[in-house]
């Protein structure tokens, strides 16, 4: 295993394996995995899908993921470290915007196996960006951190574009296509309370205000209010574990009345206090599916 960077706001690993070895890396944010060569299957939550040269995956914040290697494989792991988003970092970027984009990826992609890229053009973009990152890391200079950061930013943009093109929501196959658009709209504007009001959703999706909530509940089997709260709390988890935003900043940004209000809501849905959650350091609401085999397995 060749670890190219470990002390920067990002960690880059280039690995060639014949058999998979569990990596003792804490993965609270997320890692991008690019397959340079080889074949096999990726396993997450006991679900498996094949991989081959050029495959691109996201490793979720779960411990039970692995790769079953059929042919010797070369992987590139790009880890987005939480230190990147903290105030001690003085890179010339908009820290808040970067964090929002990375949080969008982590809170919205489906934590199931499979290639995340659905465009050959974007796959080529990622391949080129990753190769430039590897080359720049090997010949590291004083300006390399900023340059690699620029490449990583571009990678995030490509990931977001592909996630938005994918039906990553866990909804029945026979659902009304309008619900996917509504869920995307809600998650893209989760920090804009006014846009999430029933009246605005009714106008955007050309429904009557009285029908919006009924339509949402019928499609998702969850009330609109509960869905919005849970979506916000997933972002609360991300901010608590991966940033130095204060509780006041988090509450203000996500539209909670104050820290007390946020604390009560979090306790109700997560079953633990904000302090206990942060001390434990493990996601709760963000995990979409349990890390266990299927019942019929």
Comparing CA positions, the residue from 98, 116, 35 lying closest to residue 72 is 35
Comparing CA positions, the residue from 109, 111, 113 lying closest to residue 47 is 113
Output the pLDDT for position 7. Answer: 44
What is the CA angle 131-133-137, rounded to 5?
120
Q: Which two tokens stand for residue 169?
A: 């929501």
Comparing CA positions, the residue from 20, 31, 70, 74 lying closest to residue 50 is 70
CA distance 236 to 250: 7
The pairing of beta strand 65-80 with beta strand 10-17: antiparallel
Residue 37's DSSP bridge partners are 74
Output the pLDDT for position 87. Answer: 46
pLDDT digits (tens, 9 = 90+) for 144-163: 878 888 888 888 888 888 87
CA distance 190 to 17: 41
CA distance 232 to 104: 11
Output the pLDDT for position 18. Answer: 94
CA distance 96 to 10: 17
Output the pLDDT for position 196. Answer: 95
| Torsion sign, CA atoms 178, 105, 163, 71 | negative
Buried b (16+ CB within 10 A) or exposed e, 159-177: bbebbeeeebbeeeeeeee
Domains and CATH numbers, the chain: 2-164 (2.60.120.280), 177-280 (1.10.10.60)
Which stretches in the chain have pLDDT values below 70?
1-9, 23-29, 45, 60-64, 81-98, 109-113, 166-174, 287-297
Q: Where are the alpha helices (DSSP H) in the chain?
A: 95-108, 120-138, 144-164, 177-188, 198-204, 209-220, 224-242, 247-253, 259-270, 274-280
**Structure pTM?**
0.74
pLDDT digits (tens, 9 = 90+) for 59-75: 766 656 788 999 999 99
Phi then psi dihedrals of residue 244, to 5 deg:
-110, 25
CA distance 219 to 180: 10
- The SS3 assignment for 223 reads coil
CA distance 169 to 109: 8
């Amino acid at each position: 295993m060749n670890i190219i960077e470990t002390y920067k706001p990002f960690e880059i690993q280039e690995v060639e394996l014949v058999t998979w070895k569990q990596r003792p890396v804490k993965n609270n944010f997320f890692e991008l995995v690019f397959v340079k060569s080889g074949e096999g299957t990726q396993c997450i939550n006991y679900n498996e899908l094949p991989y081959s040269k050029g495959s691109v995956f996201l490793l979720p914040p779960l411990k039970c993921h692995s790769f079953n290697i059929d042919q010797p494989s070369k992987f590139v792991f790009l880890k987005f470290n939480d230190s990147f988003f903290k105030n001690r970092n003085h890179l010339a970027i908009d820290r808040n915007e970067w964090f929002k984009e990375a949080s969008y990826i982590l809170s919205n992609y489906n934590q199931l196996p499979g290639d995340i890229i659905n465009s050959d053009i974007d796959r080529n973009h990622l391949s080129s960006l990753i190769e430039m990152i590897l080359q720049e890391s090997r010949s590291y200079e004083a300006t390399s951190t900023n340059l690699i950061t620029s490449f990583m930013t571009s990678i995030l943009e490509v990931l977001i574009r592909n996630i938005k093109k994918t039906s990553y929501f866990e909804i029945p196959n026979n659902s009304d296509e309008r619900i996917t658009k509504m869920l995307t709209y809600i998650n893209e504007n989760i920090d804009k309370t006014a846009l999430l009001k029933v009246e605005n959703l009714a106008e955007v999706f050309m429904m009557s205000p009285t029908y919006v909530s009924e339509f949402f509940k019928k499609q998702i089997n969850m009330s609109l209010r509960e869905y919005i709260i849970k979506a916000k709390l997933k972002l609360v988890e991300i901010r608590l574990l991966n940033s130095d935003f204060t509780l006041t900043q988090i509450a203000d940004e996500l539209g909670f009345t104050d820290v007390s209000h946020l604390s009560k809501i979090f306790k109700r849905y997560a079953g633990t206090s904000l302090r206990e959650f942060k001390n434990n350091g493990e996601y709760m609401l963000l995990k979409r599916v349990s890390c266990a085999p299927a019942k019929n397995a």
